[in-house]
Structure 1
Amino acid sequence: MTRVVDVVRAVIAPLTRTRVFRRVIGPALLPPIERLLARVTSGRVQLSALLVPSLVLHTVGAKSGIVRDVPLMYTPDGHGRAIVAGTNFAGEKHPAWTTNLLANPDADITVRGRRMPVHATPIPEAERDATWATIERQWPGYRNYERESGRTVRLFRLQPVRPRD
């Protein structure tokens, strides 16, 4: 199975670096497909998880206070935590979920159908290059989204915490 995933990644990865993917396929087509798949499988299957480790981040809206769900690629940091990057398909604006985490760092994630509480911490400037290197070992070229966006992408470490009462 790992060999199949490696081959699929080798084919798909270059496509994710194209302007068509960043402007149309990624932001317009993937989210509704992910939502439909999540609904049909009760959150156990994600399209993106076929290629990379993926989770659903459940944040509280910074302004609305409404719980928002967003499927994201994550990178395990080797210490039981997840790293997520607010690339927004190289868009010029930060994705809303990053603003939500800055305002409300206590969130939940669902990984393979299992929901757990986490605390989000922004990656400090001094750790950014090392963190990007970790992310790019999983998905080469991913930092190009930051370069092409013209902004500093927000990186977060999601630390599992004890369930809230």
Structure 2
Amino acid sequence: MSFTHPTGTRGFKLPGRVFRVMNRLLMRRARNGKGPTMGMNLLVLTTIGRKSGQTRLNPLAWFPGPDGSWLVVASAGGSAANPAWYLNLAANPDQVSVEQGGRKVDVTAEQLNGAERAQAWQQITAAADQFRRYEETTDREIPVIRLTPR
């Protein structure tokens, strides 16, 4: 379970306050399981903060992976840096859970690399073109993470 942490030198700057308010609304929607939001399926990812040790919640778009797993993308909207939830996963890949539609599942996180990442990336960008645009905004390779039920 190797996670890489390279950041880019250019990318989109995420707006702080608006982003936090939107995340709360998206988490509520994901927990209710009311179907796609903005054309994507949502889940709530629970991680343990790598510095604080506190529980952290993040709404994320997900895509179906093999054998009932979820694929998520650490795009940060095309930012030069990886999102904090990705760094938390890297520090604690076995202390992660997914919440969706009233169901909570403990998962193990694994970053995809090479041909496996390329195949998943093709599937993701075919389903949600904005991820292709995020890739064009930054010069870092956007991580794809597989969350497998434990």
TM-score by length of 1: 0.72
CA distance in 2, matches of 1:128, 1:136: 12
In the alignment, structure 2 segments of 5+ residues that lack a partner are: 1-11
Letter in 2 for 1:98: Y
CA distance in 2, matches of 1:129, 1:144: 16
Deviations 1:15-70 (A, max 9, x none): xxxxxxx6567x6535413314646x793157963521110000001111111000
Could you tell me which of 124, 127, 144 is aligned with 1:138?
127
For residue 148 of structure 2, what is the aligned residue in structure 1? 159
TM-score by length of 2: 0.79
Please, what is the CA RMSD of the aligned residues? 2.6
Q: Residues 100-111 of structure 1 correspond to what in structure 2 (within 5 A)?
A: 100-106=88-94, 107-111=96-100
Deviations 1:126-162 (A, max 9, x none): 322211111122212422212311111111100011x
CA apart distance, 1:85: 0.6
The 1:28–1:153 alpha-carbon spacing in structure 2 relative to 1, beyond 3 Å, is: farther
Task: Indicate the structure whose relative CO is greater, using CA pairs within 8 Å and at least 6 residues apart.
Answer: 2
Deviations 1:110-139 (A, max 9, x none): 011211100000102232221111112221
CA distance in 1, matches of 2:102, 2:35: 13
The 1:42–1:52 alpha-carbon spacing in structure 2 relative to 1, beyond 3 Å, is: closer
For residue 81 of structure 1, what is the aligned residue in structure 2? 69
* 2:68 alignment partner, SS class: coil
Aligned pairs, how many? 138
* 2:124 alignment partner, SS class: helix
Give the conservation status (yes or no) of the 8 Å contact 1:37–1:46.
no
Give the conservation status (yes or no) of the 8 Å contact 2:43–2:99.
yes
Query: Computing the radius of gyration over CA atoms, which structure comes out larger, 1 or 2?
Result: 1
Higher helix share: 1
Letter in 2 for 1:117: D
Percent of residue pairs bearing the same amino acid type = 31
